[in-house]
A and B are shown apart, each in its own frame.
Chain A
Amino acid sequence: MATEPTGAVSSCVDSHGSAVGMPQLCADWFPNQIFWLVIALIAIFLILSRIALPRIAAVLAERHGTILSDLTAAEDLKRQATEAEAAYNLALANAKTEAQRIAAEAKAEIQAEVDVAIQKADAEIAAKAAESEKAIADIRASAVDSIEAVAKDAAAEIVSVMGGKADAAAVAAAVTSRLKG
């Protein structure tokens, strides 16, 4: 294709379309190349300086800003998390102290109740014991009295049976003195 005969339209191409020497040095083509190059460069310059470069600069600046603000936000969140952790630890410690306090209080209360109950029970037991002792003493006393009466009666009967005339007061005194032994 490079060798298609095109006719000698230029001193730089032979009759078969092949290059004569270096095509780079063919002055016939310079005006064409330079003209279109300048057009292309102007077009590229306008495209870059008017549209592309400001846009890319804006995108890069925006990204930089976004990253910075994201970093700041992350820093903020981290600080908040640390604060939250400290608050949590504080609350935990407070709760522990409170729980211990409540437990101690409850224990003390229960202890007091138990003490009261024990005292009451002791008192009741003591009262009951005293009551019982009194009852026993009464019973004993009444038993002694009954025995004394029976003994007097029996002594008086014995005396009367023996044919004596029992003086009630003398018999009673005799029995009483014998009983006191």
Chain B
Amino acid sequence: MATEAAQHGAEAAAQGTEHAAETGSLVFHPMDQFLVKPLFGDGPIGMLSITNVTLWLFIAVVAIFGLMVIGTSRRAIIPSRGQSIAELAYGFVHKMVEDVTGKDGLVYFPYIMTLFMFIVVANFLGLIPLSFTTTSHFAVTVILALAVFLTVTVLGFVKNGTHFLGLFWVSSAPLALRPILAVIELISYFVRPVSHSIRLAGNVMAGHAVIKVFAGFAAIAAISPLSVVAITAMYGLEILVAFIQAYVFTILTCVYLKDALHPHH
């Protein structure tokens, strides 16, 4: 990548553009991997344009279909490897929903499973070199987080009526403290979608950008071995992060759902 970039830098220098300054030195474009590009043609990107976002979201859907539907198509009592993974994912999320939200939360299991499968598959697809990581974009994670936030808030009011506001009124605290706590609780409630979305996109984006920066250093022969080691280490960490962030997003969704179903502390 970096040598390509350097070549392009050289071309840019020949063209006398502002990139001339980069010629012959290190060139970092760690954020270029996050660019949204149309797959066909060069035109401006509209809502319906087929872009790399479309492609990698489609691949994610296909991967989930392959794992969860084709992998389980034999319905074997003694599962194959693919079916084992599908059952493992099912059991993992099912247990999480049941443990955190209780039995009555299991109605929402398919929605939470959708979130988990999408995030975990998109994260791992993003780890394929030259792929596009859909979950590194705020547009994606904010929609996910907002969907959770709005659903949970509406659900809270539908299920509990005005009692849902009891979530902000900490009845176990001394009376004098309760208004202050209510303000804090209210702020923390509205910060939820922000932290929920930025945590996921930030983790994924940061890891990918750091790998790209290390890759840029690989252009210098003296430190390229170190750079390769660092990329390998970061990649290992990213595999961890890919799963953990999907897990964190899902379990926080369960926690928010629990607040909506049982708002009393």
Which residues of A does B touch, CB under 8 Å? 1-4, 6-7, 9-10, 12-13, 15-19, 21-26, 28-41, 43-45, 47-49, 51-53, 55-60, 62-63, 66
- Please, which residues of chain A bring their CB within 8 A of the CB of B17? 15-16
- Complex contact B139–A3 (CB within 8 A): no
Shortest CB–CB separation between residue A35 and chain B, in angstroms? 5
- Please, which residues of chain A bring their CB within 8 A of the CB of B205? 24
- Complex contact A33–B35 (CB within 8 A): no
- Complex contact B68–A59 (CB within 8 A): no
Report Cα–Cα, A83/B232, bound state, in Å.
63
Residue of B nearest to A9 (CB): B44
Residue of A nearest to B33 (CB): A2
- Complex contact A44–B34 (CB within 8 A): no
B47's partner among A19, A32, A48 (CB-CB below 8 A) is: A32
Is B54 an interface residue, CB under 8 A from the partner? yes
User: Within residues 108 to 154 of chain B, which ones have a CB less than 8 A from any CB in chain A?
Assistant: 109-111, 113-114, 117-118, 134, 136-140, 143
Report Cα–Cα, A93/B138, bound state, in Å.
83
User: Within residues 43 to 93 of chain B, which ones have a CB less than 8 A from any CB in chain A?
Assistant: 43-49, 51, 53-54, 57-58, 60-61, 64-65, 68-69, 72, 75-77, 79, 83, 86-87, 90-91
- Complex contact B53–A36 (CB within 8 A): yes
B138's partner among A1, A15, A25, A58 (CB-CB below 8 A) is: A25
- Complex contact B42–A32 (CB within 8 A): no
Given contacts A15-B17, A36-B57, 12 further A-B contacts (CB under 8 A): A1-B4, A2-B5, A9-B42, A9-B43, A16-B8, A18-B29, A23-B31, A28-B45, A33-B137, A39-B57, A40-B57, A47-B68
- Complex contact A56–B77 (CB within 8 A): no
Count of interface residues, chain B, beta-carbon cutoff 8 Å: 60
Are A34 and B139 also in contact (CB < 8 A) when A16-B12, A18-B29, A40-B58 are? yes
Shortest CB–CB separation between residue A29 and chain B, in angstroms? 4
Are A43 and B45 also in contact (CB < 8 A) when A13-B35, A49-B110, A52-B69 are? no
Main secondary structure of the interface of A (DSSP, over half): helix
- Complex contact B68–A2 (CB within 8 A): no
Report Cα–Cα, A55/B65, bound state, in Å.
13
Is B14 an interface residue, CB under 8 A from the partner? no
Is B180 an interface residue, CB under 8 A from the partner? no
- Complex contact B118–A40 (CB within 8 A): yes
Report Cα–Cα, A29/B17, bound state, in Å.
26
> Can you give 29 A-B contacts (C-beta < 8 A)?
A3-B8, A3-B32, A9-B43, A16-B19, A17-B32, A24-B34, A24-B139, A25-B138, A26-B36, A28-B44, A29-B51, A29-B53, A32-B36, A33-B36, A33-B53, A36-B51, A36-B57, A38-B143, A40-B58, A40-B60, A40-B61, A40-B118, A45-B114, A49-B110, A53-B90, A53-B110, A53-B113, A59-B75, A62-B77
Shortest CB–CB separation between residue B226 and chain A, in angstroms? 24
Report Cα–Cα, A32/B45, bound state, in Å.
7
Residue of B nearest to A58 (CB): B75
- Complex contact A48–B114 (CB within 8 A): yes
- Please, which residues of chain B bring their CB within 8 A of the CB of A7? 42
- Please, which residues of chain A bring their CB within 8 A of the CB of B12? 16
